[in-house]
Every structure is written in structure tokens, then in C-alpha cells.
Structure 1
Amino acid sequence: MTSLINHSRPVLYLAATGHGFGHAVRISTVAAAIQKLNPEILLIFATTAPRWLLESYIPGDFIYRPRAFDVGVIQSDSFQMDKPATLEKMQEIYKKRNALIAGEINFIKTNKVNLILADIPPLMAPIAKLAGIPCWMMSNFGWDFIYEAWGEEFDDIVNWIKDCYQQCDRLFRLPMAEPMNAFNSIIDVGLTGGTPHYSSEELRTKFKIIAAQDKTILLTFGGLGLDQIPYQNLARFSDWQFITFDRQAPDLPNIIKISEPLLRPVDFMPICSKVISKPGFSTFSETMRLDVPIVSLTRDDFAEAHLLLEGIENYADHQIIDTETFYQGNWEFLNKSPHPPKIGKILRKDGAEMIAQAVVDFFEDCRKNLSSDL
């Protein structure tokens, strides 16, 4: 294998679960912070998340390596999960693990990777260990936590995942987290998220958003979206404006459909009075960093969801609505004021910067050690 890079540069390998967009988004915010602190660090991104998504968060160059080392959850949309297909795919990855490990170790050594940062494919820890480099991870949950709730047929996969995570050198635990007891070294950090690229005036002018902020609503349901969103309810709010990234949304006078790939939900959050979403860490985190109220659907069959919903109840202005109210109701909840946080808006907002600084410090220590050895 031929090296892709100039070996004089420090090299960071980033791996993200391709499940939805959330994992790729939050590790991309760390990558952007790393580039800002030290643009000499070369980034290699291993994920099945689309390159355009990474580019919408990372301003500088990076190497894109489309690889899958886990599957997350196989879903048809943000709610509909296929547990048998997920189990089958994870069992396939387990059977092929030695070949996957060997192939990636070859790539890592050839390209002189110094450090792996992952969110949060379990296999990256044994890959790093066998390659002789550290593996750091970042997340608010591990996949063992998700699969463990799905029954004993997942037990073997859960135990394997825990064994992988135990080989991780450091975990940056994000807010709204499960204990993540499989990890031996844990550092708690703040919220991660992108910063809006445009001013409110620029967006209002470009997209002809004339409704007042209290009647401007962002609808965002993650990378997988939702089937059968009841857009007919929007006719009841004819003097409001609704912003969506759903290209299948109907052409209604008060719907603004965003299709430009470099525009992100976080860019529109500051001009909205509420963000309507499903439970998702990256959406919640970006919304909370900007102090925009969250209206979230409930979700009963994904273990992370109760952590996130408890998080917004404690730390954000929020409304929580059940799926029947969302799909069958008349959306009267839009006229209600959000509930204040039970504890307060006290979560730190510098998680991406904290992780990025640790990465930059690691490479600086490597440089000093190399200089002292010469």
C-alpha cells in the first residue's frame, strides 16, 4: 500500500459510526476545532457518513476513507429500527473482524497515523492496540448499552463490544450520558456542536423569511428523517414559517425547503423560536448551545432516548410530546410556552474545544519527545 500523505505531518485518524448523521456531526465539530488550533495535523476520516456532511462542518482539507467498522442500528427512518438485520450485520462484522483489523492496521502503519479518535465504533480500540498507537473515543453512550436492552440474542455481541471498549485508552464522555462502565479512563466534557456560518439577516434575506422569530420553526429529524410527517397541520399556522431539510416535503406557502448541502440545521437555529426534533444528541446539543427551546418527540425503544429527554428536561427550555400528539394531533403544542429546565442551563458548551485541545497537546508532546530523542 502506498502512503497517501506527507510523513512530516502529524496524522489523526477519526472514525465515526455511520448510523444517522449525529456521530459524524459531533466528531466533525472536534475536527474543525483541531484544524483551528493546529492546521498542520492531517485528518483521515473513516466513516460511511457522506463527505458533504463532513465538509459542511470542517473548513479545511481532510482525507475521506469510506469504511464501516460497525453498523449502529439499521433503520428505514429515524424511528423504524430493524433489530434482526442489525444483529445479522453485527455478527457478520464480528466474523470478519480479523480481516478488518489486519487491513486497517496496514493502512494505519503505512500512513504513519499517530492517534485514533472514534465516535464510537468498538473495533477501533483493538485496531489501535495492535497497531501500537493510542485510541481515544468520545460519546454519551456505547453500543453495548443500546444492544443490551434488546434481549439475550445480542449477548455475545454485547460482550464482544465491552471487551473492545475496555481496550480504549481514553473516553471523552459527553453530557446526557449513560455510565459507560466498559471504559477504564473517562474524562467528562461539555456539549459539542457547530457554530452558525451565517448571520440571521443573511438567512432571512436569502430565503425570504418574513415571519417574526416567535413564529419561525425549524423541523429537523436527523439524517434518516421521518416518514409521513403530518404537514397538513401547517395550514393551521398560515402566518408562521416552517424550515425543513426534508426534500420530500410538500410545496406549501409557509414551508421553506433547504436543499443546499453546506447549509445545516444549526445555521437556522438562531432565527427560530423552537426546534422540533426527535431525540438525538447532536441536534439537542447544538440547540442547547444556542439556547433555543426544543420540542421533542418521545422514543421508547432506543435506550439513549430517555437520557436525552431527561437531559433537556433538566438543562433546556423544552416541550416533550408523544408520537400520537405529533402524528394525530393538531399541533396545538406550538402555541404553548416551553417548560423551563428543572436544574438550569448549566452544561458546559466547549466539549469540542476540550477534546481538540487534548488532541493538539498529544501531538505537541509527541513532537517534544521526538526532539529530545534526537
Structure 2
Amino acid sequence: MPIENDPEQTGQSTSSAKGAIAYYVSAHGYGHGVRSCDVIKAINRLYSRISITVVSNLPVSFFENRLESGTNLYRGGSFDVGMVQLDSIRADVAATLAKVEALYAQRDKLIAQEIAFLERACIGLVAADIPAIPLEAAALAGIPRIAVGNFSWDWIYSAFVERDARWGELVRCFEHGYGKADLLLRLPFSADMHSFRAAEDVPLVASPGRNRRAELASLAGCREDKRWVLLSFTSLDWSNDALDNVEKLTEYEFFTVLPLRFLRKNIHPIKREQVPFADVVASVDGVLSKPGYGVVSDCVVNRKALLYAERTDFAEYGVLVEAIRKYLKHSHIPAERLYRGELCPALDLLWNCPDPPLSLKGGGAEIAAQRIAAFLS
């Protein structure tokens, strides 16, 4: 464990006395943003003197909707690609390679750009979930740096090296960047994260929502006495025939969170600004989604059943399915049935599944906030 006052161990310079954090958040889906908001919210609550600049290409409205404090600052910036998605469950590996290569061709420029920002903004600590370039910039600036996550991009991309050798050099770039972190705060459902020099496990980072079923029924103009299912996807390629099949499930009310919208009588779009995502999860009977840290965590803390479809070309899938089997009432729907809108058999199975064998402790946001604040001291 690094000694807080030892510059050689922490990478700490005189600038670390500054009470400001730059929190870099991957824009690969909303899962990174959701858990980062929980940690940032805990810092805002426990350490009001610490100012935070959130750096991400996720919409500012997303962060403002989840963060109560009006003191946080926001800055656009993209320092990783994640996976290019055909939709929420299918990835385009070739397009991902092209985008990662293009990003890392600008690596030196981006590092120099971030060093200038960190110095100009008097940043005393960098947190990253979980791009690597900001960690490299912080190291060169002599600023403490902490990574937060349950997987890293070097691990995800290493699965593609056998398909195309160009991935090898990119994996090594990420390994190098992650090696600059002083500490990894490793979240549950974690994969091999060997690139980090030091790691501490923290409990689940997720906040339970508030059941607002009556309010949602009024907003959507639907009935409370039916089964409610949240369609938790950023995008989903449903044909008219598939939507016809879903609309025939008259015993169900389905919900989406904008921008996902389908114009059918029993599918209701919800604005995050009206009802936060966690509250939607808390209000429904079950969730239909692909395995991702955010949705799995939200289902765990809200004790909701999860119907999941397989994801292609995403190494995290197996790790998350293992977690689903331990901690959630769950069932699987084959992707081809999902795309045809043939949901009824799998949903029937979901309601009759046994309760999960294990539970999972929460409180990770507060613990992560305390460790981050300690490095800033």
C-alpha cells in the first residue's frame, strides 16, 4: 500500500496538495458512467472541500441527472474507444481496431494535452474508469493516479490478437498505461487485471433506486397490475415483425430509457430527467438486457430478476454471467429469439426461476471515495 506522504511511492508532487480531482470516465456505454457517478456522489457528500472535474464524452445531462452537487465541473474528452457496437449485444471488432489505432496514433498529443490541462486546472489527483492515457499523463505530471474498474481494455483486446497481430501493440500500450496507476480499486465481477502494480478490492458500487411505480404508470399511461419489464439497451434492432410479437404480449408493460424508443402501445419511453434509471429498475418486475456491469449491479442492489441475451466478442460476458448465476434470479434468452421479439417463453421461465444462492455486499462507493480522498491528502 503506498505511503501517502512518500512522493517516490505515490508519484506525489507539491501539486497534490491541491484539493481537485480530474475523474476520467469511459464513454463505452453507460455502465462506467453510472458507477463513476456513485463514487463522485460519495466524494461530494463526504468531502465537500474537494472539487471534481468530470472528463468524458458521455452527455453532461447524464451526469447532471445523477449527481446532486452543482459544484462539479464537466469537460469533454475521449481517451478510449471501448468496443464499437453494431447494437447493444453485437460488437464490430474490425471497426474497433481501426478506431483504437486512430486514437493511439494521437497518444503523445493527447498526453501532452492532458498534462497541460492538469497543470492549468491545479489538479491534485487523477481517477480513471478506465482509460489508460490519463494515467500516463498524470504520471508524467507527478500527480497521484487511481484506476477504478472491474476489467481493463488490455484484457478485452488481448482476445483478438490471434485474429489480427496489430492488436498486440495496442494491448502493450494499454498495459504500459495501466502500469502507471498507483492503485487499482478493483470492483466485483472482475477479470484478470495483471497490468496494475497494486490493487484493492472494494464492494459493489451501485445505489438502490426508489420504487415509483404509481408515478411511472401515470407518466406512461399504463397499468400497474401488469408485469413490468425494462428493456435496458442503448440500441436494439427490432424489425416491425419483432415489434408486432412484442405488442401481442398484452399482459406486459415494457419500458425503455430514451433515446431508445419503439412506437408500440405497450412499450413506454422514459426520460432520465423525469425518472432516474435506478428508480426505473426499482419500479419494474424484471429487466431484459445484455450482461454489463451497470445493469447487473442495478439488478443486484434492487433485487430484480434479469433476463439476458448473450454478447458477442466481449470477454467480460463470461465473468458477468458467472456473477448473474450467483447473485440474481435470472434466465437466458437466445439472441436470435430476442431479435425476433419472441420474449414470452423466456419471460415465463424468468418468473419461475429460483432465488439466487448468494447475496453481495454494497457500500463500495463510500470506500472508493475514502481511498481516493486519502491519496489526495
Equivalent residue runs for 1:1-374 within 5 Å: 10-61=19-70, 62-151=72-161, 152-196=165-209, 199-212=212-225, 215-221=227-233, 224-228=234-238, 230-247=242-259, 249-261=261-273, 263-328=275-340, 329-336=342-349, 337-340=351-354, 343-345=357-359, 347-363=360-376, 366=377
Give the direction of change, closer, same or farther, for the CA distance of 1:43–1:30 in structure 2 (3 Å limit): same
Deviates more, 1:133-142 or 1:83-92: 83-92
Structure 1 gap ranges (5+): 1-6, 367-374
Q: Please say if residues 212 and 283 of structure 2, whose CA atoms lie closer than 8 Å, have aligned partners that are also in contact.
A: no
- Between Structure 1 and Structure 2, how many residues are aligned? 354
Shift of 1:63: 1.3
Matches of 1:178 and 1:8, distance apart in 2: 34
Matches of 1:199 and 1:26, distance apart in 2: 22
Letter in 1 for 2:176: D
Letter in 2 for 1:354: I
Give the direction of change, closer, same or farther, for the CA distance of 1:262–1:182 in structure 2 (3 Å limit): farther
Q: Please say if residues 203 and 361 of structure 2, whose CA atoms lie closer than 8 Å, have aligned partners that are also in contact.
A: yes
Identity of aligned residues (%): 30
Q: Please say if residues 207 and 301 of structure 2, whose CA atoms lie closer than 8 Å, have aligned partners that are also in contact.
A: no
Letter in 2 for 1:272: V
Deviates more, 1:104-113 or 1:185-194: 185-194
Shift of 1:8: 9.8
Q: CA RMSD in A?
A: 2.2
Give the direction of change, closer, same or farther, for the CA distance of 1:330–1:124 in structure 2 (3 Å limit): closer
**For residue 371 of structure 1, what is the aligned residue in structure 2?**
none
Matches of 1:247 and 1:163, distance apart in 2: 36
Shift of 1:362: 3.6
Deviations 1:89-111, CA, capped at 9 Å, x for gaps = 22222222121111111111121
Matches of 2:153 and 2:114, distance apart in 1: 21
Deviations 1:60-116, CA, capped at 9 Å, x for gaps = 122111011111122232233232232222222222212111111111112111111
Give the direction of change, closer, same or farther, for the CA distance of 1:43–1:148 in structure 2 (3 Å limit): same
Shift of 1:20: 1.6
Shift of 1:197: 5.7
Matches of 2:343 and 2:34, distance apart in 1: 32
Q: Please say if residues 213 and 224 of structure 2, whose CA atoms lie closer than 8 Å, have aligned partners that are also in contact.
A: no
Matches of 1:195 and 1:291, distance apart in 2: 9
Deviates more, 1:50-59 or 1:77-86: 77-86
**For residue 370 of structure 1, what is the aligned residue in structure 2?**
none
Matches of 2:336 and 2:44, distance apart in 1: 44
What TM-score comes out, normalization by structure 1 length?
Answer: 0.88
Shift of 1:327: 2.3
- Find runs of 4+ consecutive structure 1 residues off by over 6 angstroms: none
**SS of residue matched to 1:237:** coil
Q: Please say if residues 178 and 195 of structure 2, whose CA atoms lie closer than 8 Å, have aligned partners that are also in contact.
A: yes
Structure 2 gap ranges (5+): 1-15
**SS of residue matched to 2:147:** strand
Matches of 2:352 and 2:199, distance apart in 1: 34
Deviates more, 1:73-82 or 1:289-298: 73-82
Matches of 1:11 and 1:143, distance apart in 2: 26
Give the direction of change, closer, same or farther, for the CA distance of 1:202–1:9 in structure 2 (3 Å limit): farther
